[in-house]
Amino acid sequence: MAIGVVAGIVLAAIVALIGLFKLMWRVAEPNEALVISGSTHKTEGLGQGMGFRIVTGRGTLVLPGVQAVRKLSLDLNETQLSVDCVTHQGIPLRVKGVVIFKVGDDLVSIANAARRFLDQQKMMPERVHIVFAGHLRSIVGGLTVEDMIRDREKLTGQTRMACGTEMEKLGLIVDSLQIHEIEDPTGYIKNLAMPHAAAVQRDARIAQAEANRLATEAEQAAFARMAEATRDSEILQAGYQAERDKAAATARQAGPLSEAAARQEVVVQETRVAELEAHRREQQLQADVRKPADAAAYETRTRAEAERDARISAAQAKARETELAAAAEATRVTTAATADAQAVEARGIASAKATRATGEAEAAATQARGLAEAESAKAKGLAEAEAIKARAAALAENQEAVVAQQLAENWPAIVEAGAGAFGNVEHMVLLNGAEGMSEMFAKALTMGGTGLGVARQLLASMGQAPAPGTPSPAAPPVNGRIPIREE
Amino acid sequence: MGDRGADTDTDMVGMTGRVTGTVGPGLVGEVIVRIRGGAEHFLAHPVAGTGRLAVGTVVTVVEHLPPRTVYVMAAYDN
């Protein structure tokens, strides 16, 4: 229990100590300075009469209630400047800028600043603005616009010169003074810039035009080059294409070509084979046919020649034989002919003798016969002549009787002739019977009678002629011969 | 510790810095010096007999007038 109380008291004491320490121990942060006043400290390096202690960047023990601790910010501050001022040339300008400043890090600056601004840290920019506004007016009043624009070094130098020591008094340092803007209500700067701007614009336009020209030239040249390159490329491509096509065609043709070549080779070989075959065949034929044929022909020829020779020999022999035979025959015939001739001669002689004898005999006989016949003919003739003479006399005396007799003698022939007219009739129809028949005959016979009348007239006409032996050339021989043959 | 502030003034002398605003006779220039773990700028004046110091010139602090004024001369005298 007691231990617990002791422990609690100790703990409380520790806590109280810690709390006390916390109250007494103050730490300065990097961006601040502690200004400690109250007890008489030995001052750190600032000599006499300072009366306060400055602590930066570390902790320090402070007696609460005895010492007062104030913080002075070392942070950056800025002040916007907007100052109406007149330049050296009397040109009104409004300068706008910014001042960036801070409390100096050395103890002197901190002490100066602490004395001036410790309770007015918020008002520091305002104060600085006032300081700078006045100084800036004086600075700008000593500069020309051209200087301000062109010679910034001079501006900053002037600013440093005017403000540096001023700020040093306040324990401040100026990190940066920036002039943002110089407003120019009279247009001085603008007009100042105008000739240059115009020149620049002119130069720019010239340069632009030149550049355009060059660019256009380059572009056109490039286009021409491109066209040329395109043309060359197309030409090359066409050439390559042609080569490709050619190669492809060659390749395409290579197959058929080689095939054709192979086929040609095959054909050549086949031709060779065929030739060899033909040659072989020829040789075989020579061997098989021609040689045998030749042999046969030779044989035949030889045989024929032999035969011919034989025949010739035979013929010669035969001729010789015939010749000899003919000679023999001739001899024989001559002999025979001679013999025959002699025989014929002898026979002819004999025959002639016989013929003559026969002829003579026959002639004698014929003569005798002829004589006899002549005698008989003479006698007959005479007799006939007598008869005719008698008939002629009779005719001369009585023609009618002669004619009648002639008629009577020839009547049967006449009737036959008349009946002959009917002989060709196959069927005859007589309308008036037997009477018609006889009438018909009578008419036919009458025709004969008529002929009789004609004969009579002929005779009458010829009766005037003195030669009774030569009546009509036709009738008398007929008349004369008929009785002879009848007799 | 307490002496640091007093030392600071003497410390500044002999430091080198760089001109950021032209230093010359009749001009208030500016130099930037490494100090207190950072870099601070000071208003700068040339010491007597020194000519114009262009921006970028390395200078040596010859004199320090608190709070923020220094007198400088060129660190490398050609």
Task: Find out whether the peptide bond into B67 is cis, omega within 30 degrees of 0.
Answer: yes
CA distance B75 to chain A (A): 22
ipTM higher than 0.85? no
The first and second tokens of residue A184, run together, are: 């120019």
The first and second tokens of residue A1, run together, are: 């229990």
Q: For residues A484 and B68, which has the higher predicted lDDT (pLDDT)?
A: B68
Q: Is the pLDDT of residue A425 over 70?
A: no
pLDDT confidence tier of residue A16, bands split at 50, 70 and 90:
very high
CA distance B14 to chain A (A): 18
Q: What is the pTM of this model?
A: 0.45
In B, residues 22-61, which contact A (CB 8 Å cutoff)?
A: 22, 27-30, 36, 38, 40-41, 43
pLDDT of residue A45: 53
Nearest by CB to A42, from B2, B21, B29: name it: B2
Q: CA-to-CA distance for A178 and A159, rounded, in angstroms? A: 11
Spatial CA neighbour of A28 closest among A64, A65, A53: A53
The first and second tokens of residue B13, run together, are: 């002398």
Tell me if A161 and B67 make a contact (CB, 8 A cut-off): no
Spatial CA neighbour of B16 closest among B78, B67, B74, B55: B74
Whether the Cβ atoms of residue B71 and residue B46 lie closer than 8 Å to each other:
yes
What's the residue count for chain B? 78
In the sheet with A32-37, reading across from the earlier edge strand, the strands are A52-56, A32-37, A68-73
What's the residue count for chain A? 487
List, for residues A263-311, the tens digit of each pLDDT value. Answer: 888 888 888 888 888 888 888 888 888 778 888 888 888 888 888 888 8
pLDDT of residue A337: 80
DSSP string, A92-113: EEEEEEEEEEEE-SSHHHHHHH
B7: contact with A, CB 8 A cutoff = yes
Q: Is the pLDDT of residue A131 over 90?
A: no
pLDDT of residue A13: 94
Q: For residues A404 and A16, which has the higher predicted lDDT (pLDDT)?
A: A16
pLDDT of residue A231: 87
Q: Which residues of B touch A47 (CB under 8 A)?
A: 6
Q: Which residues of B touch A161 (CB under 8 A)?
A: 27-28
Lowest mean pLDDT among A21-25, A368-372, B7-11: B7-11
Tell me if B2 and A108 make a contact (CB, 8 A cut-off): no
CA distance A36 to chain B (A): 14
pLDDT confidence tier of residue A111, bands split at 50, 70 and 90:
confident
A40: contact with B, CB 8 A cutoff = no
Number of cross-chain residue pairs from A and B with Cβ atoms under 8 Å apart: 65
Q: Which residues of B touch A54 (CB under 8 A)?
A: 5
pLDDT of residue A232: 87
Average pLDDT of the residues in A164-188: 84
Alpha helices in A151-187 (DSSP H): 152-170
Q: Which of B1, B28, B41 to probe by mutation at the A interface, max A CB count within 10 Å? A: B28
Q: Which of A61, A156, A160, A161 to probe by mutation at the B interface, max B CB count within 10 Å? A: A160
Summary mean pLDDT of chain A? 80
A157: contact with B, CB 8 A cutoff = yes
Spatial CA neighbour of A35 closest among A185, A171, A161: A171
List, for residues A223-271, the tens digit of each pLDDT value. Answer: 888 888 888 888 888 888 888 888 888 888 888 888 888 888 888 888 8
Average pLDDT of the residues in B31-45: 85
Tell me if B28 and A171 make a contact (CB, 8 A cut-off): no
DSSP state for residue B47 in the 8-state scheme: P
Nearest by CB to B68, from A47, A104, A153: name it: A104
Alpha helices in A398-425 (DSSP H): 399-423
> How does A120-131 read in b/e, with b if 16+ C-beta sit within 10 Å?
ebeebbeebbeb
CB neighbourhood size of A249 (10 A): 10
Q: For residues B7 and A95, which has the higher predicted lDDT (pLDDT)?
A: A95
Helix A107-117 and helix A152-170: axis angle, to 10°?
A: 70
pLDDT of residue A18: 93
pLDDT confidence tier of residue B2, bands split at 50, 70 and 90:
very low
Average pLDDT of the residues in A8-36: 90
